[in-house]
Amino acid sequence: MVVFSITYIISAIPFYRLGLGDPSLVYANIVNLCARIFYCLIFVDAYFKKAASAHFRFYKVLPPWELWVTSLTSAAVIHVSERRLNANELALQLGRRALMNVSVLLHVAIGSSLAILCILTWWISSGRYLNLPLRRKAE
C-alpha cells in the first residue's frame, strides 16, 4: 500500500503542475488504480502458474463481445446525446434549475436507459452463470 500511495502522490504532482487543478487528483487516482490492476494481474498469473493450473486464461475473464459492443455503442450514443442536447452547457448555466430542463432530463433518461441495457446485456451474456448462494426457506 505504501508503494501505491507513493505512486499516487508522484503522479498527482505533474498533473497539478500542468494546470489541471482538482481533476489532477482524479487522474492521479486513475494512474494509481491502473498500477494496482497491473500488480493484481501479475500476482494472479504467478499464482496460477505456481498452482500448475492450465485452465486459467486471462481472455476467459474478459467480458463477452456482446457487452463490449453494447458498452461502446452506449458510450457513443451518450456522447452524441450530450453534444446535441447541450446537457453540460445547460447544467453549467442553469445550476440546480437544469434538473427541470427538458434537454437535461432527456439526456439523463437516455443515459439511464443505456445503463439498464448494458446491465441486461451482461446478465444475458454471462451474469446468469454466476454461482449465487440460494436462500433457504424458513422452516
pLDDT in tens, 71-87: 999 999 999 998 998 88
DSSP letter assigned to residue 1: -
pTM over 0.85: no
Range from 3-7, 46-50, 76-80, 104-108 that averages highest in pLDDT: 76-80
Is residue 35 within 8 Å of 7, Cβ to Cβ?
Answer: yes
pLDDT of res. 28: 93
- Could you tell me the residue ranges of all domains in the chain? 1-55, 63-129
Separation between Cα atoms, residue 106 and residue 85, nearest integer Å = 8
Q: In Å, how far from its chain's centre is CA 73?
A: 15
**Band of pLDDT at residue 117, cut at 50, 70 and 90:** very high
Collapsing DSSP to helix, strand or coil, 134 comes out as: coil
Is residue 106 within 8 Å of 85, Cβ to Cβ?
Answer: yes
pLDDT of res. 36: 93
Taking alpha carbons only, the member of 67, 71, 65 closest to residue 122 is 67
The three three-digit cell numbers of residue 18, written as one number: 500542468
Separation between Cα atoms, residue 76 and residue 35, nearest integer Å = 27
pLDDT in tens, 43-55: 887 887 777 666 6
Name the percent of the chain lying above pLDDT 90: 35
Average pLDDT of the segment spanning 89-108? 85
pLDDT of res. 79: 93
pLDDT of res. 75: 95
